Structure 1
Amino acid sequence: MSSPNPVPADTADAKAAKAESRKRRRAASAANRATSRRARRKASVEAADGTTPDGGASADGRSPESGTAPTGGEAGPGLRDRAGALWRRRIHPVLDVVSPVGWTLLGAAAACWLLGMTLHITELNVIAFVLTVPLVIAALFVLGRANYRVTLDLQSHRVVVGTRAVGRVEVANPTQRPILASRIELAVGSATAQFLVPRLAAEAEHEELFAVPTKRRAVLVVGPVRSVRDDPLSLMRRQVTWAKEQELFVHPRTVRLDEAASGFLRDLEGTPSSDLSSSDIAFHALRDYAPGDDRRHVHWRTTARTGKLMVRQFEETRRSHVVVALDNLAEHYASAEEFELAVSAAASLSGQTFREEKELTPFTFDERQSTRTLRQMMDDYTVVEQLKERTPFHELGQKAADLAPNASAVMMIVGSHTTARELNSAANQLPIGVMAVAIRCVDDAEVKRSAIGGLDVVTLGSLDTLAKAMRAVGR
């Protein structure tokens, strides 16, 4: 069997094949080096966490497969991670105890000690000693550790503007040794309340009651609760957080509207349509009996008088669907109090409609309020804010038409700077046949009713006169 003839090594094809082979080997070598670098990087990160690549811990930090310690180049990222963790967990909390005034005093004392000892100046040594004494005393104030058990309890997480939110902070000593007196800080929004906790014996408790004034609609963050130990000169301060923060919703003030005031809900069963029916609840007229009519609808008195069967004819009705559109453009309100009046009016109308179990669609230019529960709806009204950007006002009416095309009444709550032209442009976007009412909120104004085309406009000066304003609409 003859052997195959070798290919000449100096041909053009052979040279091209060799060059392609070298290129493939270089690419494969580069890929292997990249894979090796990624593996080393991953191993160094895992070594910093104290775990092996397979999830197990290694006692000496060596790889369980190779049995060798990582090299200096590979340990670099791990050392940096360990140093960062040491700084965050150990060093920074200690350094953070010293206040800016304390750092200034410490720097001055260190400089005086250095210059006094180097230059042998007794006066500088005396100054350094005087500066060091208050630092040592301050350190004695913050030494020690308090193992408190702290409970933050709010009586209610939802209150109305003007009412106080009451809560309590309970501080207990769960250990078998007494704890020295300390100061407790409770953050409430941007403010901080402080009260002293006396020396607590073993398993003793101390309770503090607090009240949060609620002057404006807001979502207040109550907490966290921190125990604070510091010195009289405020050179050092040590604080420990025990209880997490809780949210307190301050709902807008609302008023209830009686049936007489609910002028926009004249027909409690619904709004009559032009379609006739023989079995509905809105009576329309009498007509002659036709085969197939329900005998229960026969009007016997008229039948006896006319001598022929007469039956009741009814109108089909549709369920009342109320839209409450709140204008929250900042340019339409003269003051913050005027906007708060508008929010309270919108929340009152929405709450009344919700309690009467009518279909409801409340919204603003940028948000739609939830109607799943009354509490969630009031939570949404709590976070309504004024918009600074300029938006065409007719979009409020267009949004009402898009969200509720079958609405029976649309209530637009606006500010004193909203012009008649803007109101008319918004009303023109509503479907034909919809009852449209604009409530213009003006500080301390008298209740007054006017009309812009087919739009009823009612001026509202205070929330207490909302019922009177709605009765004016219902006339």
Structure 2
Amino acid sequence: MPDLRRAARLALAATTPAGRSVIALGVVSTVVAGQAGYEEFRLIAIMCGLLVLVALLLFALPTRVRARLELRPAHTTAGETGAGELRVTNLRLTPLYHPLVTIPLDADRDERRGAQRVHVRLPVLRRNQPVTEQFEVPAVRRGVLRVGPAGARRTDPLGFFQRHAAWSDPAELLVRPRMVSVEGLGPGSVKDLEGTPSDQVSMSDLAFHALREYVRGDDLRHVHWRSSARAGRLYVRQYHDTRRTHAVVLVDDTRSAYADPEDFELALQIAASVVMRVALDEFDLSLVCGPQQLSGAAQHVLDAFCFSELAAGDLVVSARTAAHLAPDASQLIVVSGSRLDTDLLPAVRDAFPDDVRFLGFRADPDADPDAPGAQGPQLVTVDALERLPGLLASHVRGIVL
């Protein structure tokens, strides 16, 4: 029964007022001709039926238009607009005069309340002459925005039926969280293009350690020929194994850690701002936020934020996952909400070696970060994204002092 109702609504929406009038006239004429026997009304009913049949046949013909919808780039930031390009080629024998192309946004998600749409007015489309038009996509909220398919309102020549004819495949726009610029992540965070020497000894690296006698299997490229000639036996170089700063960003996706879903959006904004700072410092980077677990470039990490959602997560389990993902981590950055259980933090830190630096953020729009004692020794409480740079700078100065 629900399917029948939905089909009836779709059929009614696809029929124009002119089409409904002709159908109603045909039905009334059929009833009158059957009851009163008037042949004139029977003829009217036949004519109405023929007109509706011809309109349906013409309406069912395929649309001879080729279109391609692209988003360049395929990502933007919440509150900003994305850039799109629509390329259309008319394959019909006759021109299309200034068609109005409609591009729905998240039509499947917003079907009940009506999807937002972008309209693009095209010039005259002549046969086999491609036309390219630019358009903007409003991206209000973080997430994955489904754009398209692009198409136009199509009717039959009699104007009895109408529908949105899809011309292209849909595309996805990745809407990243808002970000602000921060100056630094604390003491010891310096740019290290060549890494810093560790206590581990390696046979191939940058920091020289010592010479030792050659053993079978050593790479001959590391033979120190001058010392070997002086001693009459082969000696090879040993090196300190260097380590680059590897920052791990751990975002708590536990639903109970946030008083409101909007607090999670603030947490993602804080994490995204930190990721940009890590990218500018050219550190290695890893992210764990529920099922989003990856290491790599900041661009891929920022895209992963678009898919992040609140769930029944576990911060300690996520920390152990992050430690396994980045065994060479040197800095751990945890972002959570106002209802974070601080008793979990020791277990989170225990998942990493003792020499891993720790920095924590608590997203709490209702907090007063300027109140005495609001900023604890472990966590930076952030009430608004715009205040993050100043709060982080004050926290770092407090650590340094």
Among residues 298, 303, 319, which one is paired with 1:379 in the alignment? 303
**Does the 8 Å contact 2:288/2:318 carry over to 1?**
no
State the SS of the aligned residue for 1:347.
helix
Q: How far apart are residue 324 of structure 1 and its match? A: 1.1
**Does the 8 Å contact 2:55/2:158 carry over to 1?**
no
Amino acid at match of 1:139: A
Pick closer, same or farther for the CA change 1:423–1:106 going to 2, 3 Å. Answer: farther
Deviations 1:375-395 (CA, angstroms, capped at 9, x unpaired):
2222112211111x2x44332
Pick closer, same or farther for the CA change 1:146–1:326 going to 2, 3 Å. Answer: closer
Number of positions where the alignment pairs a residue of Structure 1 with one of Structure 2: 341
Among residues 420, 423, 448, which one is paired with 2:345 in the alignment? 423
Q: What is the alpha-carbon distance in structure 2 between the residues aligned to residue 198 and residue 138 of structure 1?
A: 30
Q: How far apart are residue 359 of structure 1 and its match? A: 2.9
**Does the 8 Å contact 2:151/2:166 carry over to 1?**
yes
Q: What is the alpha-carbon distance in structure 2 between the residues aligned to residue 136 and residue 182 of structure 1?
A: 25
Q: How far apart are residue 325 of structure 1 and its match? A: 0.6
> Are residue 409 (structure 1) and residue 311 (structure 2) matched?
no
1:459 alignment partner in structure 2: 381
Q: How far apart are residue 470 of structure 1 and its match? A: 3.3
Q: What is the alpha-carbon distance in structure 1 between the residues aligned to residue 351 and residue 95 of structure 2?
A: 72
Deviations 1:73-96 (CA, angstroms, capped at 9, x unpaired):
xxxxxxxxxxxxxxxxxxxxxx97
Alignment of 1:6-405 (within 5 A): 99=14, 108=24, 111-120=27-36, 122=38, 125=41, 132=48, 136=52, 139=55, 142=59, 147-173=64-90, 177-179=94-96, 182-190=99-107, 191-197=116-122, 200=125, 208-230=133-155, 235-258=160-183, 261-263=184-186, 265-266=188-189, 268-269=191-192, 318-371=243-296, 373-387=297-311, 389=312, 391-405=313-327
Deviations 1:277-304 (CA, angstroms, capped at 9, x unpaired):
xx998xxxxxxxxxxxxxxxxxxxxxxx
Q: What is the alpha-carbon distance in structure 1 between the residues aligned to residue 92 and residue 20 of structure 2?
A: 37
Q: What is the alpha-carbon distance in structure 2 between the residues aligned to residue 381 and residue 402 of structure 1?
A: 20
Superposed CA RMSD: 4.5
Q: What is the alpha-carbon distance in structure 2 between the residues aligned to residue 280 and residue 242 of structure 1?
A: 57
Q: Which has the higher contact order (CA 8 A, sep 6+)?
A: 2
* Greater helix proportion: 1
State the SS of the aligned residue for 2:381.
strand
Structure 1 range deviating more: 427-436 or 220-229: 427-436
Pick closer, same or farther for the CA change 1:174–1:407 going to 2, 3 Å. Answer: closer
Q: What is the alpha-carbon distance in structure 2 between the residues aligned to residue 203 and residue 166 of structure 1?
A: 25
Q: What is the alpha-carbon distance in structure 2 between the residues aligned to residue 316 and residue 170 of structure 1?
A: 53
Pick closer, same or farther for the CA change 1:423–1:174 going to 2, 3 Å. Answer: same
Q: How far apart are residue 267 of structure 1 and its match? A: 5.2
**Does the 8 Å contact 1:138/1:230 carry over to 2?**
no
State the SS of the aligned residue for 1:249.
strand
**Does the 8 Å contact 1:116/1:123 carry over to 2?**
no
State the SS of the aligned residue for 1:263.
coil
Unaligned stretches of 5+ residues in structure 2: 1-9, 108-115, 208-239
Pick closer, same or farther for the CA change 1:355–1:198 going to 2, 3 Å. Answer: closer
Q: What is the alpha-carbon distance in structure 2 between the residues aligned to residue 122 and residue 469 of structure 1?
A: 87
Q: What is the alpha-carbon distance in structure 2 between the residues aligned to residue 431 and residue 153 of structure 1?
A: 46
Query: With structure 2 as the length reference, what TM-score do the two structures score?
Result: 0.68
Pick closer, same or farther for the CA change 1:167–1:393 going to 2, 3 Å. Answer: closer
Query: With structure 1 as the length reference, what TM-score do the two structures score?
Result: 0.58
Q: What is the alpha-carbon distance in structure 2 between the residues aligned to residue 420 and residue 362 of structure 1?
A: 21
Q: What is the alpha-carbon distance in structure 1 between the residues aligned to residue 69 and residue 347 of structure 2?
A: 52
Pick closer, same or farther for the CA change 1:467–1:239 going to 2, 3 Å. Answer: closer
Q: What is the alpha-carbon distance in structure 2 between the residues aligned to residue 199 and residue 144 of structure 1?
A: 21
> Are residue 446 (structure 1) and residue 369 (structure 2) matched?
yes
Amino acid at match of 1:188: L
Q: What is the alpha-carbon distance in structure 2 between the residues aligned to residue 127 and residue 421 of structure 1?
A: 85
Pick closer, same or farther for the CA change 1:330–1:124 going to 2, 3 Å. Answer: farther
Q: How far apart are residue 201 of structure 1 and its match? A: 5.0
Q: How far apart are residue 128 of structure 1 and its match? A: 6.8
Q: What is the alpha-carbon distance in structure 2 between the residues aligned to residue 223 and residue 339 of structure 1?
A: 28
Q: What is the alpha-carbon distance in structure 2 between the residues aligned to residue 272 and residue 398 of structure 1?
A: 26
Pick closer, same or farther for the CA change 1:400–1:152 going to 2, 3 Å. Answer: closer
**Does the 8 Å contact 1:176/1:203 carry over to 2?**
no
1:80 alignment partner in structure 2: none
Pick closer, same or farther for the CA change 1:367–1:149 going to 2, 3 Å. Answer: closer
Pick closer, same or farther for the CA change 1:147–1:399 going to 2, 3 Å. Answer: closer
Pick closer, same or farther for the CA change 1:114–1:356 going to 2, 3 Å. Answer: same
Q: What is the alpha-carbon distance in structure 2 between the residues aligned to residue 262 and residue 227 of structure 1?
A: 51
**Does the 8 Å contact 2:197/2:243 carry over to 1?**
yes
Q: How far apart are residue 353 of structure 1 and its match? A: 2.2
